[in-house]
């Protein structure tokens, strides 16, 4: 990845700014800390003294009475920003507070055009409404929206489902799977619009910054990556709200917003507020994809999932596209309070965090896919697959989707589940998923062998010799200990 290098400030410029209008004082300090490209643009070199810079800042003060600070800064530093120069940046944009303030921040600090990019991964129509107006009101030159729902489910969710990937016993990787498909699309958009950089609104404490940037590295290492939360002086949501108001950016939230949520077609996650204390029970009104199991219907519902080579293809006999199938099961599962997970997980960056996840359709699919494997895979294969599934989940969680190791493991999963074809029926009742039926043309289960009735294939008398040989190591050890 290309890097922007900072230069040392001119030694003749004092740290204390002269008495100026806030705009002039802002420029004085920012130009003093600016990168080499900013000084080149203004003709300032290390030999220029403080008096010259002060004169420039004083001249700018005259314009401040009629213009906002942002307008003056934008006009003054044409061709370069306060931190360097980029031509065009593709920003992962949600329309929320953080990404809304990143747009003017990028323009001000890198003197660039900003192309906002939004991926539709099933987060809901409401989150996409009015995005173009919001983006342009924030200063973006363009908004690009791509529907990635089918790609997301087919190429990211279903491979994880086939692998049986679960992180730390509970987490079904909803956010982890979504980030690489979004980042991949950003790289594609950057190529389409001729951008030389990409940017995201992930904080420096979370996993998502890693997931985005590892994908950028893997697919186009030449792109610059700008992560404002690791650079700017904004320290929290209240600072961001004040920055937005100061730069005339429409504020999409109020200071009373409490939960941090991430939604896609697979799940909905909740973090923050009372959830930051693991001792607190989540509030009932926090959930959005599923009803409280206590309020779920008193009548159980049976659902049959059809699978081919380890991948879901139908619900109740109706073949559906990957995204449509998952949406259907989300609706059914949510109605019965299926798929609620409350866990404390170990983040990649070292700290523990508490999150609550709703994954109704995914929980049903995992139960069905795993159950069918009990029919079609032998003991040794299941054990090896389960052990690899742990590593597979870790790689996905850590943002290594395009790592050759994950791709190689995926090839194994694809091969080993070739015969995992059949149907599984589950009963949904007040938050529980119970398997009631499973069938497969490749089933290794033989009723004529497993039955307690006599069988020509299995002679019970053969068990005596097997037990003597299988137990020989234990028998020898006991003889040694007892002096026999």
Check 107, 179, 211, 354 and give the catalytic one.
179
Q: What are phi and psi of 88, to 5 degrees?
A: -150, 135
260 is catalytic: yes
Check 199, 208, 262, 406 and give the catalytic one.
208
Check 37, 98, 400, 438 and give the catalytic one.
98
Output the CA–CA distances (angstroms, integers) from residue 98 to 74, 241, 254, 282, in the order listed: 20, 9, 12, 25
Burial 378-410 (b: 16+ CB within 10 A, else e): eeeebeebeebbeebbebbbbbbbeeeebeebb
Residues in the chain: 484
406 is catalytic: no
Q: What burial class does residue 276 get, using C-beta atoms within 10 Å of its C-beta: 0-12 exposed, 13-18 middle, 19+ buried?
A: exposed
Q: Are 296 and 427 in contact (CB under 8 A)?
A: no
End-to-end C-alpha distance for the chain, whole angstroms: 70
Residues linked to residue 424 through DSSP beta bridges, in sequence order:
305, 438
Output the CA–CA distances (angstroms, integers) from residue 276 to 32, 145, 300, 313, 355, in the order listed: 40, 33, 34, 39, 8
User: Rounded CA gap, 445 and 441, in Å?
Assistant: 10
Nearest to 438 by CA among 386, 361, 375: 375
Q: Which residues contact 25 (CB under 8 A, 6 or more apart)?
A: 17, 18, 57
211 is catalytic: no
98 is catalytic: yes
Check 7, 74, 260, 314 and give the catalytic one.
260
Q: What are phi and psi of 113, to 5 degrees?
A: -80, 150
Query: What residues act catalytically?
Result: 98, 179, 208, 260
């Amino acid at each position: 990845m290309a890097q922007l290098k900072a230069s040392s400030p001119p030694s003749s410029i004092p740290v204390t700014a002269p008495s100026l209008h806030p705009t002039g004082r802002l420029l004085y300090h920012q130009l003093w800390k600016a990168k080499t490209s900013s000084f080149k643009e203004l003709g300032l070199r290390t030999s220029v003294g403080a008096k010259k810079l002060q004169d420039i800042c004083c001249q700018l003060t005259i314009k401040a009475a009629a213009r906002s600070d942002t307008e003056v800064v934008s006009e003054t530093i044409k061709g370069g920003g306060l931190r360097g120069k980029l031509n065009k940046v593709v920003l992962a944009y949600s329309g929320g507070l953080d990404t809304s303030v990143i747009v003017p921040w990028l323009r001000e600090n890198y003197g660039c055009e900003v192309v906002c990019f939004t991926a539709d991964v099933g987060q809901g129509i409401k989150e996409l409404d009015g995005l173009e107006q919001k983006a342009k009101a924030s200063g973006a030159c363009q908004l690009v929206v791509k529907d990635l729902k089918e790609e997301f489910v087919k190429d990211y969710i279903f491979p994880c489902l086939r692998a049986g990937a679960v992180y730390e016993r509970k987490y079904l990787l909803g956010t982890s799977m979504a980030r690489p498909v979004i980042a991949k699309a950003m790289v594609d958009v950057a190529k389409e619009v001729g951008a030389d950089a990409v940017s995201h609104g992930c904080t420096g404490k979370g996993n998502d910054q890693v997931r985005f940037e590892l994908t950028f590295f893997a697919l186009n290492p030449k792109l610059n990556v700008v992560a404002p939360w690791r650079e700017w002086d904004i320290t929290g949501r209240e600072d961001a709200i004040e920055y937005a108001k100061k730069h005339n950016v429409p504020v999409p939230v109020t200071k009373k917003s409490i939960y941090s949520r991430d939604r896609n077609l697979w799940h909905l996650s909740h973090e923050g507020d009372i959830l930051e204390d693991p001792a607190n029970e989540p509030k009932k009104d926090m959930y959005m994809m599923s009803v409280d199991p206590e309020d779920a219907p008193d009548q159980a519902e049976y659902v049959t999932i059809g699978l081919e080579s380890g991948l879901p293809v139908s619900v109740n006999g109706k073949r559906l596209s990957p995204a449509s199938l998952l949406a259907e099961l989300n609706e059914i599962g949510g109605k019965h309070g299926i798929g609620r997970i409350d866990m404390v997980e170990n983040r990649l960056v070292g700290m523990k965090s508490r999150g609550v996840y709703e994954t109704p359709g995914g929980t049903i699919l995992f139960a069905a896919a795993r159950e069918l494997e009990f029919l079609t895979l032998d003991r040794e294969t299941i054990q090896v697959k389960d052990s690899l599934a742990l590593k597979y989940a870790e790689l996905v969680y850590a943002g290594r989707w395009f790592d050759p190791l994950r791709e190689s493991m995926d090839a194994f999963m694809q091969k080993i589940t070739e015969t995992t074809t059949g149907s599984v029926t589950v009963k949904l009742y007040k938050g529980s998923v119970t398997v009631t039926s499973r069938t497969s043309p490749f089933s290794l289960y033989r009723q004529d062998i497993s039955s307690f009735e006599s069988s020509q294939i299995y002679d019970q008398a053969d068990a005596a010799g097997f037990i003597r040989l299988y137990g020989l190591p234990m028998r020898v050890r006991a003889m040694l200990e007892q002096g026999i």
